[in-house]
Structures are given as C-alpha cells and as structure tokens.
Chain A
Amino acid sequence: MEELLDFTTGMSLALLALVLFSIRRQHIRVEYSVSWFGAALSLLVLSQWPAALHTLAGWFGIGNAPLALIFIVGTLFLLVLFRLSVIISDLKDANIALTQRVAILEYRLESVHGQKATQG
C-alpha cells in the first residue's frame, strides 16, 4: 500500500511538472491543461491523505484501498480523455466548416474574377 501511494505521489508530481512545463513551452494551451491539473492534484491529495482514500473506497463499496486508488485513477483519466474527445470533435466540426467556407469563397472569388475578365 505504502509503495503504491508513493508511486502515485511521484506520478502526480511528474504529471503536474509535465503540464506546467508544457504550458511554459506553449505545447499545451492553459484552458486544455485544467483537466490534467485537476486529475494530478486529486491523485496527489489522495496519495498523501490515506484517510480520504479509505473514505472514498467506502463510498464506492471497495474494501481494498489500493484497488480503489486504481479505480479512481482510471475514472479520472477516462473523464479527462472524454473531455478531450468533446474538444477534438468541436475542433473537427469547426475545421470542416472552415474548409468548406474557404473552398466556397475561393470558388466565388474566381467566378468574380472570371466575370470581370470577360467584361474587360
């Protein structure tokens, strides 16, 4: 149990450092780092505060604290990944609409140029 909690603490600190480093190097935007920060901080708190972990394990009906920790880690990362899927879907929709709009505007611009050339 102790080793697992220490490993989780290390993993949370590494994740926090990675997110901060990525923001500083502008590899990740601040608004997309919030969910990773939330996940890393939650894990840090749980790994440093075993009483809270036992309480949560009780809420979920899991008698084994390490198993509860793995369950919570999995759930948190699934939530973060789901949020990212929503964001990616929005971005894809926007990209498609923009691509279509650019193509249509280019087409209409060429038509106008063609008409002007014919008139001139």
Chain B
Amino acid sequence: MTPDRPDSLLIIVPAYNEEAAVGRVVEEIRQVMPGVDILVIDDCSLDQTAAVARRAGAQVLSLPYHLGLGGAVQAGYKLAYELGYEYVIRTDGDGQHDPRDIPRIYEALKNSGCQMVIGSRFLEGNSAPTSLVRGLGIRFFRWVLRPILGRPVRDPTSGFVGVNREALQVFSKSFPLEYPEIEALVVLQRKRFRFVEVPCRMRPRLAGRSTITVLKSFYYIIHVLLGVFVNVLKYERRRR
C-alpha cells in the first residue's frame, strides 16, 4: 500500500468489534472506489474484525491495545502521513456512512481548497434519524461552535470526514483521543484551516448496537465542552 498518484487517497475505517459489518463496508467501498487503498484500523477487537477486513480486501493496521476512536483514527492518520498520502477519508466500520458519498467528499477535498470536508447528514433537506439526546447535543454544539469557528456547522458530530495533507500533518501530531469530531474542528480552527460540508446519507448500523447511553451522552457533552475550551485557550496566531 503506497500512494502512486499526486492526488492519492487512502480510506481509513476505524473498527472495534465490527466483524459483522466491516466486511460489507470494505466491499461497498471497493465497489464505489475501485483501486483505492483501504485501511481498516482494528482497535484491538475481541472478535474477528481484522480477519474479516483482510478477507474483504482491506489492509489492516492492528493496534496492540484498545485506544478508543481518537487513538485509532490518529494511528491511521500517522501511517497515511508517513506513507505520503495526499488525502484521507474516514468512514465508520459499522456501515452507517454510505460509501456512495465518498466520491463527493473526495471531489470537494480536491477542488474546494479546504483542509477538511465533512459529510453532513443535515444538508439539502436530509434528515437523519437521531435519538432525542443526540439531536439536542448536535443543536447545542452547533450553537457553541458558531462563534468559535466564525461560521455555522450543520453536523459537528459527523465522523464521515476527509482531510488533505496539511490537516493530516496537524492531526498526526495532535488529535483528540475521545469523541474527536468536534474538538478536531477547533484544532483546525486554531491553525486557521478551513472546512466545507457536503451532503451525505446516514444509514442504520449494519450490525450491532450503539453503546451510547443517556449517562454517556452527558459525559460526552461535558468532556467535549472542556476539550473545546482548552483548544480555544491554545489559540495560535493568524496564518499569513
């Protein structure tokens, strides 16, 4: 797995105990983006996630210890940066992100001049079914992030994101470890990088159940709020 074009793309799929879904996710990506390198980051799963991903045609980066989502994604970013990839798109291993939206994110990465492209569930009239607590959380963080980012963001919790090499360099050195999506936006803002949202579809999970509970949602809100404000305090000088 080595980048062979100037607009080289790596698709990373962080996965933890996703043996029931990850194979289909990889196959769908291969159908939509034939020939593109796919890297499943196995976050020390207890099941056959790595073997299933390999059988489906993906490369696998196996973490020897469970790091959580942020640590797994950052490992993928580090490897992609070291191997010289120009663009990386992250999609979840549970199948909620529709791979047919990957070309749209890739085109926006190449043509928008932005360092990050977010696949948004809430653009162009799309409305993804979310739980009440999650929906409230998304609205709350839209409101919190608006003045920090200086522009609205419709889907700040989306994990369907693409980054270019500039952002890859930043994230390979510094990336939030738990609940990374929102904090990553503030990290980018600190660097005066830009992002754009493109419409994407969300599907139900292909298998398994979400581990998010009401209690975890409140922990999430407090944790992310703290992370956001710590990142705001680290604000850097405006890029020239």
| Chain B: minimal CB distance from A92 (Å) | 8
Instruction: Report whether A104 and B71 are in contact in the complex, using a CB–CB cutoff of 8 Å.
Output: no
Q: Is the CB of A96 within 8 A of B62?
A: no
User: Which residues of A sit under 8 angstroms from B236, Cβ to Cβ?
Assistant: none
Q: Does chain A have a CB within 8 A of B78?
A: yes
Q: A96–B75 Cα gap in the complex (Å)?
A: 9
CA distance A61 to B67 in the complex (A): 47
Secondary structure type dominating chain A contacts: helix
Q: Which residue of B lies closest to A104 (CB)?
A: B79
Q: Looking at chain B's contact residues, is the secondary structure mostly helix, strand, loop, or mixed? A: mixed
- The reply to whether the CB of B170 lies closer than 8 angstroms to some CB of chain A is no
Question: Chain B: which residue is nearest A93 at the CB level?
Answer: B177
Q: Mark A90-107, 1 if CB is under 8 A from B, else 0.
A: 000001100110111011
Candidate in A95, A100, A106 with the most chain B CB atoms within 10 angstroms:
A100
Size bin of chain B's contact surface: 10 to 19
Is A111 on the interface with B (CB-CB < 8 A)?
Answer: yes
Rounded to whole Å, the gap between the CB of A93 and the closest CB of chain B is 9
Contact among A96, A102, A106, A111 with B71 in the assembled complex (CB-CB below 8 Å): A96
Chain A residue nearest in CB terms to B74: A100
Across the A-B interface, the 8 shortest Cβ-Cβ residue pairs? A100-B75, A103-B63, A99-B65, A107-B61, A96-B71, A104-B79, A103-B61, A102-B64
B interface residue numbers (CB < 8 A to A): 1, 59-65, 67, 71, 74-75, 78-79, 82, 177
Q: List 9 A-B contacts (CB under 8 A).
A: A95-B65, A96-B71, A100-B71, A102-B64, A103-B63, A104-B61, A104-B79, A107-B79, A111-B1
